[in-house]
Homo-oligomer: A and B are copies of this chain.
Amino acid sequence: MRLFNALTLRSVLLRGIDLILINTLRYSLMSMSVPSEWLKVYDQLNKFFYPESVAIVGASSTPGKIGYEIFKNSIAEFKGRVYPVNPRAKEVLGFKAYPTVLDIPGKVDLAVIAIPAKVVPRVVEECGLKGVRNIVIISGGFKEVGGEGVKLEEEIVEIARRHGIRIIGPNCIGVFNSSNMFETFFQPRDRMIRSKEGKIAIVTQSGTIGAAFLEWAAMDGVGVSKLISFGNKCDVNEVDLLKYLALDDETKVIAFYLESLEVGREFLEVARRVVLKKPIVAFKGGKTSKSSKAVTSHTGRLAGKIEVLRGAFKQCGVIEARELINLYDMAKALALQPPAEGNRVCMVTNGAGGCIIAIDVFSEHGVELAELSEDTRRKLEESLPQYAIISNPVDLTGSATTSDFKAALEVLFQASEVDLVMPFYVLQDAPLGLDIIEVTAAIAKKHAKPIVCCMPGGPIVQEKARKLTRLGVPTYQTPESAALAAYALIAYGENVKRVSKILELLEDRS
C-alpha cells in the first residue's frame, strides 16, 4: 500500500510544482519505496509528452509529404511553441522556418526528426549542441533495412548517449498525449480521428497498430491518455515507458503491442511493481518462426519465444490478449470498471446464443459460472415474470422488457456469490426498451461490482453500445470480446493478490 500512496503523491506533486521542491521531496518519496531510478526516468521522458517548445526537423510546405503532415498536426491543437526546421524554406504554414536546430532562438525541449536516415546523425549531433534532451525519430531506413542502416542506428545511439539525449524511434509514428493534444503523427485529421481524453496508454512497436488502437478507442469514447510508437526502440524501451507510465497520473491502464522484448528480466521486475498500481495488458506479434523473420525486417528486432514471454507475463501479472482486438477490449474494461473480487460470473439475457459462446471462452480461461444461491433464486423468481428461466444465464427470453432486466440486475449486483455481472442484450428485440442503456448505467454506477455488456448488431445497436460504453459500462460486439474483457477484470483482481504475495516474499528474503 505504501507504493500506491507514494505514486499518487508523486503524480500530484508533478502538477505545476517546482522541480526543486520535487527534488527536496525525493528522499522521502524514496523511503516510501518508489525506486529513485523510476523518478529519474520520469524526468527524462516527461518532455516527450509535455514539451514547451518543439522543433520539427524536415517540416515541409508540400501537402502529402510526411514533414508537412507532422508539422500541420503538431500545431493543430497543441498550445506550446513549434518551430519548423528546413534549410530550404523561409516559412512553413506561416511559421518562420530555421535552417538548423541551432538557429532556433531560445530553448528547445523536443526535436521531431522526419528526414532521410543518412542525415539524421548530423541533426542528432546538432540537437546535442543545442541542449535538446528528447528526440523522436520518425524516419525509417535504420536497423530494419540491415547493412548501412544498422550502422546509422548505432551512430545515433552513440551521439545521443554522449549528450544525454533520450530517443523514441526510429521508424515509428512517435507520441500522442490527449491531455495537451501534443502529437508527432503524420496521419492527417481527415483520415484518423484523435481522442480528447482517456485512461489507456498504448505502447506499440508498430505505428499501424497504434493508429488502429487509437481510433477504436476514440470511436468508443474511451480514448487513450498517451500513445507511444517506438518502432526500432534504439533507446527508450518498454521498461523505461513502464516506469514513466506507472507515475503518469493520466494513465490508468497500460497496453502493449510488442514484437520483441529484449529486456525480459528487467521488464518482469518493473512490471510486477506496476501491476500493483495499474493493470498491464499485452499482445505479442511474431509468435512463430515465420513471423519472427518478418519482425526483423519490420523493426530490426529478434522476436522472443512466446512460451518464455508467457511465463514472464504470468509471473509479473501481465494479462495477455488472445487477438489484437482483445488488447483493446481488455484495456477498455480495465479502464472503465474495477477488478473483480473473484471469478464467478452471472449472465442475464433476452437471447442466450451469445452466452453459450461466452461460456466456451470462460471454460478456457478458468472463469466460473456463479451458482445462484437459494436466496438469489427466490428473489429472481419473485421479481421476474413467468417466462424467465432462472439459471445462469438468467434467460428472460425474447419477451424481456427493460423492467425485467432492471429487476434481474438489481438482484445479481447484490448477490454475494456473483463477482461480475454480464448482460447480453438483444437490442433488436422490440419488447426491450431503448432506455435499457440508461437503466443499466445507473444500476452499475450504484454498485462497486464490475459489469461487462455484450450487444451485437448493426448501426442502431452499435450507436447504443457506444453510448453505454461512454456511460461507463464496457460494451462489445461479439461474445468472445465481451467474455475476454470480463476475464481481464477477473485476472487483474487475481494478479494483484498473487503479485502482492510474491513481493512480500521477496522483501522478507532480502
A interface residues with partner B (beta carbon < 8 Å): 64-66, 69, 140-141, 144-145, 173, 186-188, 190-193, 204-209, 211-212, 214-216, 218-219, 257, 259, 285-291, 294-295, 297-298, 323-325, 351-357, 359-360, 362-363, 369, 387, 389, 391, 393, 395, 397-399, 424, 426-431, 456-461, 477-480
Copies of this chain, count: 2
With A191-B460, A290-B362, A480-B323 as given contacts, are A353 and B66 in contact (CB-CB < 8 Å)? no
Known interface pairs A211-B428, A290-B359, A324-B480; 7 further A-B residue pairs with C-beta atoms within 8 A, sorted by A's residue number: A191-B429, A191-B460, A192-B460, A215-B459, A219-B458, A285-B356, A323-B478
In the bound complex, CA of A209 to CA of B357 (Å): 10
Contacting residues, chain B, for A288 (C-beta < 8 A): 359-360, 363
In the bound complex, CA of A22 to CA of B369 (Å): 55
Q: Are B363 and A297 in contact (CB under 8 A)?
A: no
Our pick among B187, B206, B389 for the contact of A353 (Cβ within 8 Å) is B206
Q: List 8 A-B contacts (CB under 8 A).
A: A140-B398, A211-B351, A215-B461, A285-B353, A288-B360, A289-B363, A290-B363, A325-B477
Q: Are B286 and A360 in contact (CB under 8 A)?
A: yes
| Chain B nearest Cβ from A147, distance in angstroms | 12
Q: Are B64 and A431 in contact (CB under 8 A)?
A: yes
Q: Are A297 and B429 in contact (CB under 8 A)?
A: no
Q: Are B290 and A369 in contact (CB under 8 A)?
A: yes
Q: Are B294 and A393 in contact (CB under 8 A)?
A: yes
Contacting residues, chain B, for A352 (C-beta < 8 A): 206, 208, 294, 297-298
Q: Are A458 and B206 in contact (CB under 8 A)?
A: no
In the bound complex, CA of A460 to CA of B399 (Å): 37
Contacting residues, chain B, for A323 (C-beta < 8 A): 478, 480
**The 5 nearest A-B residue pairs measured at CB:** A206-B353, A215-B458, A208-B351, A212-B456, A291-B359
